[in-house]
Amino acid sequence: VTFREPEAAMRACVDPTPVIDGRRANCNLASLGVQRTRPSTPQH
């Protein structure tokens, strides 16, 4: 889904797992990117 207003996109993501028509959905912003964990040791 593409939102016209940034505020509307943020409101839509307040609940990251809403139930729509009895089905669980996943809402997030692609602009945030993938949440990756950082390795504990530096890689060279």
**Does residue 6 contact residue 16 with C-beta atoms inside 8 Å?**
no
Give the chain's residues under pLDDT 50: none
Residue 19: predicted pLDDT: 92
Query: At 43, which amino acid appears?
Result: Q
> Which pair of tokens denotes residue 17?
């797992």
Residue 21: predicted pLDDT: 95
Residue 44: predicted pLDDT: 67
